[in-house]
Every structure is written in C-alpha cells, then in structure tokens.
C-alpha cells in the first residue's frame, strides 16, 4: 500500500511543477510577442546603418585611421549578451560556448550584459571590463548609446585592440542562433568610393562622431535580438517541459493503476485462501 501513496505524491509534485512551467510559457509567449515587434522595428535601422557606415568609411583616404586598424593592444573585448534568468533551454549556454570558442588563444576581456553573463564570467575569474550593464532586461536606448561611447573610447585609448559582439540572433519563433560580429576595428570596404560623395567636413572628424553612435546602434539592435531570442528559447523550453510533465503523469497514472489493481487482487486472494483454510 505504501507504493500507492508514493506514486500519488509524485504525481502531485509533477503536477505542481507543470503549473509553474505552464505559467512561465504563457509569460514568455506574451514577452516574445512584444520583443518580436521591437526587433522588427529596429531591423531597418540596423541594415541602413551598416550600408551608411560603409560609404562613410570609404570616404576616409588615410590608410591608418584609428578605426580601421588594431591598436597595439593584444586584448580582445567580448561584449556578451546573455539573459538575466535561466530556464531558457540552451540560450545562455550556447552563448558562453561560442565565446569560449572564440577566445581561445586570445587575451579576452568580458563585458557581460545580462546577469547570467556576469555570474558566468565572475565565477570563472575572467577579466571584466564593466559591471554596469549587468541587467539586460532594463536597458533602453540611452544607456546603450553611452555604452557605445565607452567602448569606442576604450578602443581609441588602446585598452583593447578588437571588439567582438556575441549575441543570439532571432531567426524565427522556433530558431535562435548564437552569432558573433566584429565591431571594431571597422572593416575597410573593398570598393573605394572616395570620390563619390561630396562633403564639407573632414571625413576623419565625421567618423569620430559617427562611430560611437554606430557602435551604440549595433549594440541596441543586438540587445533587441537577444531579448527576443531569450523569450523564444524560454517558451520552447517550457513547452517541452510541459509535454514532458504530461508524459510523466501518464506513465505514473498507469503505474498507479497497476499497483492498485495488484493490491486488490492480492486482497481477494488472501480472503479466498483464508476462507478455504477454514
């Protein structure tokens, strides 16, 4: 009889866990919808910005502009976008795996965005550039743009020679992919359009003004992509958790019924054999 109670208790505990995962799925779904809208709004900005920065960088005739070459520093700054919370499938782990792969043979400094990224880098005693941006969820355009300025200033002052952005690209509701992008130094465009544009200003000065804004803009879109991906990943993870819980409950129910039947059969046999003995 003890077996029956044990199974009942397990069913109950699985059911209450399922309630939590179900609620989390609902929350993730509604967050995902909002985040998806933001991503779709920021995408045109990101694409046009990329094109424009190409035309501006092609203006600069100097070969040794600060923005195009590695400075003397051998350090690499990784801007790592992860989540604030766990329980989102492989969302955080995939990002960290990618950073680890990229940072082999590199003198890496971490700039964690998201509590999980901060915890991870602290736990492993990595070099941390700034802890000011640890909460991914409440970053808005303003602080991210100032982060762009901080990063470009650091690059200019030679604190690091390379800036790599690691974030999760929001491919679709079902698919998210951990990707990286080299932010700085800027890539010198292959085709020179030096004489294409006319301007009244010094290209180098223009680049000095635009690059921090450009970096900030890219960071902001990476943040939006990451937040949408996090909700997407969490929704998927919670969805499979629900399915799994249902399966477990089904097997437990079957098991419970079997044990119950066995107990009844045993009781009947006992009574019958007891009656026979009389």
Separation of alpha carbons 167 and 223, rounded Å: 8
Site for other proteins in 192-211 (CB under 8 A): 196-201, 206, 209-210
Residue 64 or residue 199: which is nearer to other proteins going by CB? 199
Closest residue by Cα to residue 173 from 22, 31, 21: 31
Contact flag: residue 145 with other proteins (CB under 8 A)? yes
- Residue placing its CB nearer to other proteins in the complex, 41 or 101: 41
Residue with token string 């640890």: 134
* Packing angle of the helix pair 203-277, 141-156 (nearest 10 deg): 120
Is the distance from CB of 136 to CB of 227 less than 8 angstroms? yes
Q: Is 13 helix (H, G, I), strand (E, B) or coil?
A: helix
* Residue 51 beta carbon to other proteins: minimum distance, rounded to whole angstroms: 8
Residue 139 Cβ vs other proteins, minimum distance, rounded to whole Å: 12
Q: Which residues contact 234 (CB under 8 A, 6 or more apart)?
A: 24, 28, 87, 88, 89, 91
Give the 3-state secondary structure of residue 267: helix
- Please report whether residue 213 would count as binding other proteins according to CB under 8 A: yes
Supply the minimum distance, in Å, between the C-beta of residue 219 and other proteins.
Answer: 10
Shortest gap between Cβ of 189 and other proteins (angstroms)? Answer: 14
Nearer Cβ to other proteins (24/219)? 219
- Per CB under 8 A, the segment of 24-32, 48-56, 104-112, 156-164 that binds other proteins is 48-56
What are the backbone dihedrals phi and psi of residue 202, each rounded to the nearest 5 degrees, phi first? -75, 120
Site for other proteins in 215-234 (CB under 8 A): 216-217, 220-221
Structure tokens at 204: 């180098």
Give least dist CB 146 to other proteins, A: 7
Give me Rg for the CA atoms of the chain.
28
Residue 105 backbone zone (phi > 0: left; psi -120 to 50: alpha; other: beta): left
State residue 81 phi and psi, 5-degree precision.
Answer: -95, 115
Site for other proteins in 246-275 (CB under 8 A): none
The answer to whether 119 contacts other proteins (rule: CB under 8 A) is: no
C-beta closer to other proteins: residue 24 or 53: 53
Number of residues interacting with other proteins: please give it, by CB under 8 A. 27
Is the N-terminal amide bond of 72 cis, ω within 30° of 0?
Answer: no
Using the minimum distance from each CB to other proteins, give the nearer residue, 14 or 49.
49
Stretch that binds other proteins, among 24-32, 109-117, 190-198, 255-263 (CB under 8 A): 190-198
Q: Which of 9, 20, 23, 52 binds other proteins (CB under 8 A)?
A: 52
- What is the C-alpha separation between 198 and 142, in angstroms, rounded? 31
Residues that bind other proteins (CB under 8 A): 41-42, 44-45, 48-49, 52, 55-56, 59, 141, 145-146, 196-201, 206, 209-210, 213, 216-217, 220-221
């Amino acid at each position: 009889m003890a077996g029956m109670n044990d199974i009942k208790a397990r069913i109950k505990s699985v059911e209450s866990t399922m309630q939590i995962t179900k609620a989390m799925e609902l929350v993730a779904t509604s967050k995902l919808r909002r985040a998806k809208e933001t991503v779709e709004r920021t995408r045109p900005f990101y694409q046009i910005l990329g094109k424009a920065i190409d035309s501006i960088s092609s203006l600069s005739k100097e070969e040794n502009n600060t923005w195009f070459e590695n400075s003397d520093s051998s350090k690499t700054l990784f801007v790592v976008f992860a989540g604030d919370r766990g329980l989102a499938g492989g969302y955080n782990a995939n990002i960290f795996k990618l950073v680890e792969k990229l940072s082999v043979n590199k003198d890496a400094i971490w700039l964690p965005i998201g509590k999980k990224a901060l915890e991870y880098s602290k736990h492993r005693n990595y070099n941390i550039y700034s802890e000011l941006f640890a909460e991914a969820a409440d970053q808005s355009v303003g602080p991210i743009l100032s982060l762009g300025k901080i990063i470009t200033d650091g690059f200019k002052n030679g604190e690091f020679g390379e800036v790599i952005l690691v974030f999760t690209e929001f491919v679709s509701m079902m698919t998210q992919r951990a990707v990286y992008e080299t932010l700085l130094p800027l890539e010198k465009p292959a085709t020179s359009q030096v004489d294409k544009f006319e301007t009244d200003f010094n290209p180098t000065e223009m680049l000095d003004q635009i690059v921090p804004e450009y970096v900030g803009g890219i960071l902001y879109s990476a943040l939006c992509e990451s937040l949408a991906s996090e909700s997407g990943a969490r929704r998927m993870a919670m969805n499979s958790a629900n399915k799994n819980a249902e399966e477990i409950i089904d097997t437990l129910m079957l098991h419970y019924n079997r044990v119950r039947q066995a107990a009844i059969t045993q009781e009947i046999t006992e009574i019958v054999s007891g009656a026979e003995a009389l």
